[in-house]
Structures are given as C-alpha cells and as structure tokens.
C-alpha cells in the first residue's frame, strides 16, 4: 500500500513539474499572453494611424480647403491680393 502511495505522489510531482515548467506550461502561457498584449497595443496604434490617413485622403478628395492648406504649408502658396510677411528671428549672441 505504501508503494502505491509513493508511486502516486511521484506521478503527481512529475505532472506538477510539467504543468509549471514544461513545454506549453504556465510560464510559456504567461510569455505568450504578454506577446499578444504587445501585438494588440501595436495594432491599435496602427489602426489609429490608418484612420487618420483615410480621413486626410477623404479631405483631399472632396474639399479644396485641405489642398489649399497643404499648398500654403508645403509649397508656400500666396493668393492674389495677399501680402507675404517673413519674420526672421534675431541672432542670439
């Protein structure tokens, strides 16, 4: 009877070892959950960036205000009748 009890205790210990430290055990599970959380956070940032890009594309396709704003900022567009002022900062010496 004692031998059977020791065999059961040994089997239980081996199973516990595999559960905690073996392949696909709890430690591997925790690492995978952490990787999934990092991937989900990265995907959320990319989804947000894509939504901003799609809204900007829609603005450029449908409205002239977005195109005019880009031309003013990137190309230096000046309409007729407007006065252009350039402000040059002083040298700090």
Residue 8 included in any domain:
no
Domain assignment present for residue 90? The answer is no
Q: Does 57 map to a domain?
A: yes
Q: Which of 20-29, 47-56, 69-78 has the highest mean pLDDT?
A: 47-56
- Residue 93: predicted pLDDT: 60
Give the count of domains, the chain.
Answer: 1
| Residue 14 is assigned to a structural domain of this protein | no
Angle at 31 between CA 29 and CA 35, to 5 degrees: 115
Express as a percent the part of the chain with pLDDT over 70.
98
pLDDT of 54 higher than 90 = yes
Domain containing residue 55: 23-78
Contact 68, 77 (CB under 8 A): yes
Average pLDDT over residues 43-50: 96
In a domain, 49, yes or no: yes
The reported pLDDT for the residue numbered 70 is 81
Whether residue 39 lies inside any domain: the answer is yes
For the residues 41-63, what does the mean pLDDT come to?
Answer: 91
pTM of the model: 0.49
């Amino acid at each position: 009877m004692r031998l059977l009890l020791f065999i059961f205790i040994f089997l239980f210990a081996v199973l516990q070892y595999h559960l905690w430290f073996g392949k696909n055990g709890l430690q591997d599970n925790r690492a995978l959950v952490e990787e999934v959380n990092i991937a989900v956070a990265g995907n959320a940032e990319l989804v947000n960036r894509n939504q901003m890009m799609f809204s900007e594309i829609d603005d450029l396709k449908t409205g002239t205000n977005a195109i005019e704003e880009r031309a003013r900022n990137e190309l230096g567009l000046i309409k007729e009748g407007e006065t252009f002022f350039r402000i040059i900062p002083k040298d700090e010496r």
